[in-house]
């Protein structure tokens, strides 16, 4: 499991919990708008060593079929993955969104 984006974003007073947040894992906003650079995986070169997965502070890299895949909704473009990938399979480009 991981926290995920919810459809429901507005609430009546009665639905609001008496706590500092909603239930564990309740996300209503993405972080993609923070990015000034976008990391891009060169799937041909990626050897699935999982170093980028391990060191991503946001946990947005998953390994699927032996290759790294980025969840761009939540990647902030810090660039740590591009530096940690020893074989240079992660490039960076300017974010245009």
Partner 1 sequence: MANPTAERLSRDEYFYGHKACAGCGGSLAVRAALKVLGQNAVSVLPAGCMSAVGFNFPQLCFSNNSIISTFAGTASMLTGIETGLRAKGYSDFTAVGFAGDGGTADIGIQALSGAIDRNDNIIYICYDNEAYMNTGIQKSGLTPFGARTTTTPAGANIHGNLRPKKNMFEIAAAHDIPYAATASVGYLPDFIKKVEKASRIKGTKYIHVIAPCPTGWGIAPDETVEIAKEVVDCGLWYLAEYENGEFTLNHKPKDFTSVEAYLKKQGRFKHLDLDDIKTVIESRDKKWAFIEKNFTYQ
Chain contacts with ligand SF4 (rule: CB under 6 A) = 39, 41, 46-52, 56, 58, 60-61, 68, 70, 75-81, 84-85, 87, 89-90
Those residues whose C-beta lies under 8 Å from the C-beta of residue 28, and which sit 6 or more positions away, are 5, 6, 9
Q: What is the 3-state secondary structure (H, E, C) of 15-27?
A: HCCCCCCCCCCEE
At its nearest, how many Å lie between partner 1 and the CB of residue 62?
8
Sole residue written with tokens 């984006």: 5
* Residue ranges in 39-68 that form contacts with partner 1 under rule CB under 8 A: 47-51, 53-60, 62-63, 66
Q: Which is nearer to ligand SF4, 17 or 54 (CB)?
A: 54
């Amino acid at each position: 499991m991981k926290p995920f984006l919810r459809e429901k974003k507005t609430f009546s007073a009665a639905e609001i919990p008496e706590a500092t947040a909603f239930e564990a894992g309740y996300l209503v906003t993405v972080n993609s708008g923070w990015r000034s650079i976008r990391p891009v995986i060169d799937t041909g070169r990626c050897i699935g060593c999982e170093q980028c997965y391990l060191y991503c502070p946001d946990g947005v890299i998953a390994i699927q079929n032996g290759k790294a895949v980025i969840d761009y909704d939540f990647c902030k473009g810090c660039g740590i993955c591009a530096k940690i990938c020893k074989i240079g399979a992660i490039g960076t480009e300017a974010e245009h969104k």
